[in-house]
A = this chain, B = another copy of it.
Amino acid sequence: MDYAPRYLDPPFRITRTSHVCLTVRDLDTSVAFYETLAGLVVTARDEATAWLRGIEEVAHHCLVLRRSDEVPSCDAIGFRVERETDLDAAAAHFGGAAERVERVGQGPTLLVSHPSGIRFELVAGMQVQPRILTDYPAHKGARALRLDHLQVIVPDVSATGTSFLDMGFRAAEVIADRAQGRFNGMFLHRKNNPHDLVLALGQGPRLHHFAVVVPDLQAMFRAADIAASLGMGEKVERGPGRHGPGNGSFVYVRDPDGHRIELIMPPMQVIDAEEPTRVWDAADKGRIVPWGGPASNRWREEATPFSGVPLSAEGALARWVAD
């Protein structure tokens, strides 16, 4: 299989994962959680919505929280493109599934309703904000630097993955279930590390988690310790620990609405075109989870639906990492 069919010649040039939009039931509570525990900062806020970014980011936001009484859900995920002409190319690529929209803090934006049910925005630029990286006294919690990647559960990783490969993504790593003849996981990237979008097998589409980079292990521990201070110790769902794929370090925490945030260390660099895709054998669980034991059922089975998107296919439960 060609894991990077259009990586060097993409139909439009996505540069990185951009943002994620979630609904929450109590905006104050959710903003406090992301400020106090993760260390994200609020760029803007109105009655119904808050826009947050990492302390290293100049982009207007990487996280949008919208108040809603409905079941907590994901309104959309987002990717950045190099420039506005990429949106024209993308509109042509997606045809009727794409439409121009306006979003606070964002430049030209194209909303895509992907056949998988994943709803994503392509964004050509955001309002520039001050990088508060050197305002050290103001830093809180885990000092979240920036958004890194998103993981979405889909019932058919091959089909959905192929569509993203056609957009120019490369699969840095995959988890292959040879017995079933399918992929349990696919780590798709455009920027210089192993993942912008991770696809995992299961009933979907659902957002499994979004991952922010924190500076060090101390920050990961501090997030867990703060969760306990806030009476949310049981929301520390998994880790701190180590993934096999990407050699990633992690701690997963559930927010007040059950959305899952992963805190990670700065990932390795993956950039050279000749680097081969790493293929993990789904049966080789000892390498996929090198230590720390399997994830809980809660971690594997619970996820955030996309707002108003039916779970269009019944697939196997997500088990790419920890079965």
Q: Interface residues, chain A, CB within 8 Å of chain B? A: 8, 15-16, 36, 56, 58-59, 80, 82-83, 107, 125-126, 128, 131, 133-137, 140-141, 145-146, 191-192, 215-218, 221-222, 224-231, 233-234, 236, 240-242, 247, 249, 265-266, 268-269, 271-276, 286, 289-293, 296
Give the docked Cα–Cα distance between A151 and B92 (Å).
43
A121, chain B: closest CB distance, angstroms: 15
Name A56's contact: one of B136, B215, B269 (CB within 8 Å): B269
A125, chain B: closest CB distance, angstroms: 4
CB of A236 within 8 A of CB of B59, answer: no
A31, chain B: closest CB distance, angstroms: 14
Assembly of this chain: how many copies?
4
CB of A218 within 8 A of CB of B221, answer: no
Name A134's contact: one of B36, B191, B290 (CB within 8 Å): B290
A299, chain B: closest CB distance, angstroms: 11
A137-B140, A146-B269, A225-B290 given. 20 additional CB < 8 A pairs? A56-B269, A58-B275, A107-B274, A125-B274, A131-B268, A135-B229, A136-B226, A136-B228, A137-B226, A145-B269, A217-B218, A218-B218, A224-B241, A225-B291, A228-B290, A228-B291, A233-B290, A236-B291, A240-B241, A266-B266
